[in-house]
Amino acid sequence: MTTTPTRHTGLRLAAGVLTGILALYIALVALGNITDFGTNQQFVRHVLAMDTTFKDDNLMWRAITSTALQDTAYVAIIVWETVAALVLIRGTWLWTRQDHDRARRWSTYGLLMLVLLFGAGFIAIGGEWFSMWQSKTWNGLDAATRVLVLTGVALIVNLLPDRGQRDAV
């Protein structure tokens, strides 16, 4: 079974649109965190301090209560979001220019940055290490999961082969 030009176009369009959606999303998140610094700063502080968890003595040693360290982590998150947004914007632009190899490469880098942020950062470290799942107030696991799933779909579409060769079995 060979691929058709229509499939090429559809895959490339889908990859570009999904990359663009995630570029827009993370750019808006970064902008929001920069222009309304205090809102998510409090979120990060509470998650790292573990002050709304079950306060299990076996886990509380993990808490980071230094506001300087909490704020440093938050600024690092914002920088990561901003760089990811720029990389994804570049990928989106390359898709519109039909520079498919470079678009795929830039998009992959940006999407992997989101996988690391939302998967490793928010779900694994925030959710498990800092027990964010225990908090009724400061729990971002649902939002992180939604972004991770959308990013995973975009990454899969981005990496699907679209060459005019026979599909590998």
| pLDDT value at 32 more than 90 | yes
**What residue type is 114 in one-letter code?**
L
Per residue in 47-58, pLDDT (tens digit) is 999 999 999 999
| pLDDT value at 6 more than 70 | no
- Among 99, 78, 3, residue whose Cα is nearest residue 34: 78
Per residue in 34-74, pLDDT (tens digit) is 999 999 999 999 999 999 999 999 999 999 999 999 999 99
What is the rounded distance in angstroms from the CA atom of residue 116 to the CA atom of residue 124?
10
- Among 145, 148, 25, 152, residue whose Cα is nearest residue 92: 25
Name the residue with tokens 């003595």.
57
Per-residue model confidence (pLDDT) at position 162: 78
